[in-house]
Chains A and B, each alone.
Chain A
C-alpha cells in the first residue's frame, strides 16, 4: 500500500484530489458562504449605502476600515470577482472529474446484460415471491411470457436443470441520470461563459421622439447597436382610482441604413428582438427639465360632431372646429390633486395624473376655465356641450430599457432542458430486473419470482405482486 502511494504521479494526485467528495464539500461551502456575504452587502451599489449598513452592524468607527477591506477583496461586486468565478470553475472541474472517475463503473452496469440466476440466488433478492400451483411446468411457459409482457417486460428464456427461467430488465440507462444532470450543469456554465465573452448587458433611457444607435454600460461606456432605435411613444396604464401602474408600453421603431425595418410595442415580459439584441421594458421616468416643454395632443369635438386633432404647447391657443370657441393652454400639472379647500396642487414629479388647465373664450369674451385630466374622461366635457379629449402629453417621459445580447442563452436553455430530463430519470425512473423461475416438483409447479430495482422499490413491489397474481391464476385464467 505504502509503496503504491509513492508511485503516484502528480497528475494522479491532482486527479484524486478533484475526484474526492471532500473537495466538493469545501467548494460547495465556500460558494455558499461567500454568496451569503454577497446577499448582505449590496452589490454594485453606491459606497455610502454599504458604509451605512456596515456602520449599523459594526459601529461607526470601524465601518470605513471594514468597507475598504471588503472592497479590496472584491466583495462589492463579488459575483464578478476573479476568485468567485474561479470557485465556479473549480466546481465545474470537480464535477467533471468526479463524474469521469465513476463513469466507467456505471457504464459497465448499464451495458451488463441481465443473466439467468440460480433459484437459491432469487430467494435472497430484496423482492421475492414464491407460488406453488397444480399442473405441469410446460403449461406455464406461455403464461410466463404473457404475464411479464403485462407488467411491461420483454423476457428472455433459458432452460436448465432447475427448470425454465424467464428474465428481463428495463431502464438500465437510468443509471446514467445522475451524469446527465451533472452534464447539464456544465452546459449551463458553458452557456454563461459564452454570454460573458460574446454578449453584453446595457441599458438605454430613450425619451419619446428620440433615436439612439448606442446603449450604455456602467460608467457611461457606449455599446454600438449596429442599428438605431427610436421611441415613438410611451404610455402608462393605471389601475382605476390608484397610482399603481397596470402596464407600461413603449412603441419602438428600428431604423437600419436610414430605413424603418421594424415596429413593435414592448411591455414588461414581452421584449423586442432585433439582430440578436433584445430590448426589455424595465423602467420609465420624466425627462429632466422637460416637464413644461411637452406637446399636448388634444382631440376637439364640437357639439354638432365636427372633430379635429391638434398639437399644442403651453401658452398656445386653438379653436374648436365649426365654432367660435377658442381655448388657451395656461397651465399644466404632471400629477394633479385637489386639497380640502378646493385648490389644485401637484403631488408628484412623475407623470401620474397629468392635467392641463385651459381658458375658454367665445368671440374674444372669457367664458370659463378649468382642469382637464387625462385619466378622467368625465373632465373632458365642457359646460357648453363641446368636448376636448386629452389624448397625450408627449415628449416629456423616457422609457428605460434593459439591452442585452447573449448568444449563450440558448445553450443555457438547452442545459436547463437536459437538467429537467436528467432529474426526472434520476428520481422517477429506475433500473428494474426480474427473474421468474418455473420448476416442477412431483405434481406441483413451483414458481419463484425474484426482482430488484435500484430506486422506488415500493412501486416495483406492487408490480411484482400483480405478476404473482397473474401467474397464480393459472394457465386458464391467464388466457
Chain B
C-alpha cells in the first residue's frame, strides 16, 4: 500500500468522525462520542502512516538525504500536514479538558481542508525539489509554520464558539460579526464544492483554476440569472444564520462548555502558536532567505502577509495582557487573525505572485 491509500482512509475517517460528532452533539449519547473519538484517532494513525510513507517515497525519488525529503513542498502536502497538526492539537485538547463537543467544530475544518484538495484538483504527485528548496531549513521553517497555523485554527474555532455563546442580542456588533463570518466560511466552501461538481475537470495549474473555474458555477457565472440567484441565496443564508443563530448557542451551551474554557483555549493556543510562528515562520524564514536569496527580508507578498498575521496576534496578546481586554473584543481579534492566516497560506499562493510561488504548484 502506498501513502495515497492511507491518506484516502484518513479523509474518510475524518468525515465520518465529523458526522458522528455532530450526531453526538444532537443526541448526547456517550457511546456515540466514543465512536467519534475512535474514528478521529483511526484517521490520525492512518494519516501518520501516510505521512511517513510519503516521506520515504520522496526520499527514494529525490536521493537528497532524509532531512531534505520532508514531504512539505507543495500546497497538497502542506494542507495534509496542516490537518495532521490540527487533529493532534484537538486530540490533546479533548484529552486534557475531557470534553468532546469541540470535535464537532474541529473535524469539519479537517474534513473540508482535505475535501478542498479534491475540489481544487491540485496535483498530488510527488514533485522533485527545485534547487531553492534543497536546504535543511525547509524542515524547520515549513513544519513550524504549519504547527503554528494549526494552533491558530484552534483559536479561530474556539474564538468563534466564544462569540456564539456570549452574544445575546441580534443587533449586537459581535453577534453580527460571527454570523457573517460563519456564513462567509460556509458559503465559500459550498461555492467551491459547486464548482467541482459542475466542471469535474482535472485542473492543470492553480492559475487556470482561479481564472477559469473559481466561483464560475455560482457568483461569477456567465449566466447573469445564475449569478444573481447565487448572490441572493448567499444573502438569504446569511440572514438565516443571523435569524436562528441563537439555536447554535443553545446547542453549545448544552455541552458544559463554559465561556471561560473557550477563552482560555483561545488564549493558550495563540500563546503557543505565536512564539512558534515567530521563530519558525519569520526568523527561520529570514535566515533561510538570507542564505538562498541573499536578502533576509524582501517584502515579498508571503513575507508581508506573514508580518500582517504576526501583527494581528501581537495585537491580540497585547490587548489581552496589557489592556486587560477580555471576552468578545479579543475573540473578534482571534477570528480576524485566522483570516489573515488563511490569506497568508492560501491567498498569497493562489492570487499573488512572488518568490514563494512554488507553493502553488
Known: A35-B308, A246-B128. A423 touches B278 (CB 8 A): yes
A21 to chain B, nearest CB (A): 6
B134 within 8 A of A: yes
A238 nearest CB neighbor, chain B only: B128
Bound together, the chains give a CA A248 to CA B132 distance in angstroms of 10
Which residues of chain A have C-beta atoms less than 8 A from B283's C-beta? 416, 419-420
Q: Which of B205-253 contact A (CB under 8 A)?
A: none
Q: Is A38 touching B299 in the complex (CB atoms < 8 A)?
A: yes
Bound together, the chains give a CA A280 to CA B132 distance in angstroms of 11
Q: Which of B283-337 contact A (CB under 8 A)?
A: 283, 286-287, 290-297, 299, 301, 304-305, 307-308, 311, 314-315, 318-319, 322-323
A244 within 8 A of B: yes
Q: Is B131 touching A282 in the complex (CB atoms < 8 A)?
A: no
Known: A31-B311, A38-B304. A424 touches B134 (CB 8 A): no
Q: Is A43 touching B130 in the complex (CB atoms < 8 A)?
A: no
Stretch at the interface among B36-44, B80-88, B267-275: B267-275
Q: Is B274 touching A248 in the complex (CB atoms < 8 A)?
A: no
Q: Is B275 touching A423 in the complex (CB atoms < 8 A)?
A: yes
Which residues of chain B have C-beta atoms less than 8 A from A239's C-beta? 128
Q: B118-137: contact bitstring with A at CB < 8 Å (1 yes, 0 no)? A: 00000000001111101100
Contact among B131, B304, B307 with A268 in the assembled complex (CB-CB below 8 Å): B131
A38 to chain B, nearest CB (A): 6
B135 nearest CB neighbor, chain A only: A269
Range of interface residues on chain B?
35 or more
Which residues of chain B have C-beta atoms less than 8 A from A282's C-beta? 293-294
Which residues of chain A have C-beta atoms less than 8 A from B318's C-beta? 21, 24
Contact among B287, B294, B304 with A39 in the assembled complex (CB-CB below 8 Å): B304
Known: A39-B352, A269-B131. A416 touches B293 (CB 8 A): no
Q: Is B278 touching A419 in the complex (CB atoms < 8 A)?
A: yes
A319 within 8 A of B: no
A380 within 8 A of B: no
Known: A35-B307, A39-B352, A409-B296. A269 touches B323 (CB 8 A): no
B291 nearest CB neighbor, chain A only: A269
Q: Is A39 touching B301 in the complex (CB atoms < 8 A)?
A: yes
A1 within 8 A of B: no
Bound together, the chains give a CA A201 to CA B294 distance in angstroms of 9
Chain A interfacial residues counted at CB < 8 A: 46
Q: Is A412 touching B286 in the complex (CB atoms < 8 A)?
A: yes
Contact among A248, A271, A419, A424 with B294 in the assembled complex (CB-CB below 8 Å): A271
B257 to chain A, nearest CB (A): 18
Q: Is A271 touching B274 in the complex (CB atoms < 8 A)?
A: no
B348 within 8 A of A: yes
Q: Is B272 touching A427 in the complex (CB atoms < 8 A)?
A: yes
A267 within 8 A of B: yes
Q: Is B295 touching A247 in the complex (CB atoms < 8 A)?
A: no
Q: Is A245 touching B131 in the complex (CB atoms < 8 A)?
A: yes
Which residues of chain B have C-beta atoms less than 8 A from A419's C-beta? 278, 283
Q: A283-313: contact bitstring with B at CB < 8 Å (1 yes, 0 no)? A: 0000000000000000000000000000000
Contact among A269, A420, A427 with B271 in the assembled complex (CB-CB below 8 Å): A427
Known: A38-B304, A239-B128, A427-B275. A201 touches B295 (CB 8 A): yes
Bound together, the chains give a CA A24 to CA B311 distance in angstroms of 11
A443 within 8 A of B: no
Q: Is A40 touching B352 in the complex (CB atoms < 8 A)?
A: yes
A402 within 8 A of B: yes
B209 to chain A, nearest CB (A): 17
A106 to chain B, nearest CB (A): 12
A14 within 8 A of B: no
Which residues of chain B have C-beta atoms less than 8 A from A412's C-beta? 286, 296
A36 within 8 A of B: yes
Bound together, the chains give a CA A409 to CA B274 distance in angstroms of 24
Q: Is B305 touching A244 in the complex (CB atoms < 8 A)?
A: no
A404 within 8 A of B: yes
B353 within 8 A of A: yes
Bound together, the chains give a CA A416 to CA B281 distance in angstroms of 12
Contact among B274, B294, B348 with A280 in the assembled complex (CB-CB below 8 Å): B294
A71 to chain B, nearest CB (A): 17
A347 within 8 A of B: no
B134 nearest CB neighbor, chain A only: A269
A196 to chain B, nearest CB (A): 11
B140 within 8 A of A: no
A89 within 8 A of B: no
B279 within 8 A of A: yes
A54 to chain B, nearest CB (A): 15
Q: Is B287 touching A413 in the complex (CB atoms < 8 A)?
A: yes
Which residues of chain B have C-beta atoms less than 8 A from A416's C-beta? 283, 286-287
Q: Is B315 touching A25 in the complex (CB atoms < 8 A)?
A: yes
A439 to chain B, nearest CB (A): 34
A337 within 8 A of B: no
Bound together, the chains give a CA A36 to CA B135 distance in angstroms of 29
B275 nearest CB neighbor, chain A only: A423
Which residues of chain B have C-beta atoms less than 8 A from A32's C-beta? 308, 311
A242 nearest CB neighbor, chain B only: B128
Q: Is B291 touching A28 in the complex (CB atoms < 8 A)?
A: no
Q: Is B279 touching A423 in the complex (CB atoms < 8 A)?
A: yes
Known: A192-B297, A244-B130, A423-B279. A35 touches B304 (CB 8 A): yes
Contact among A24, A244, A248, A409 with B290 in the assembled complex (CB-CB below 8 Å): A409
Contact among B274, B290, B299, B305 with A43 in the assembled complex (CB-CB below 8 Å): B299
A359 within 8 A of B: no
Q: Which of A241-262 contact B (CB under 8 A)?
A: 242, 244-248
Known: A239-B128, A242-B128. A268 touches B286 (CB 8 A): no
Residues of B within 8 A of A (CB): 128-132, 134-135, 271-272, 274-275, 278-279, 283, 286-287, 290-297, 299, 301, 304-305, 307-308, 311, 314-315, 318-319, 322-323, 348, 352-354
Q: List 6 A-B contacts (CB under 8 A).
A: A35-B307, A269-B134, A271-B291, A280-B293, A402-B295, A420-B278
Residues of A within 8 A of B (CB): 21, 24-25, 28, 31-32, 35-36, 38-40, 42-43, 79, 192, 201, 239, 242, 244-248, 267-271, 278, 280-282, 402-404, 409, 412-413, 416, 419-420, 423-424, 426-428
Known: A39-B348, A413-B287. 15 other contacts (CB 8 A): A28-B314, A31-B311, A36-B308, A39-B304, A239-B128, A268-B134, A269-B134, A271-B294, A280-B293, A402-B293, A404-B294, A409-B296, A412-B286, A423-B275, A427-B271
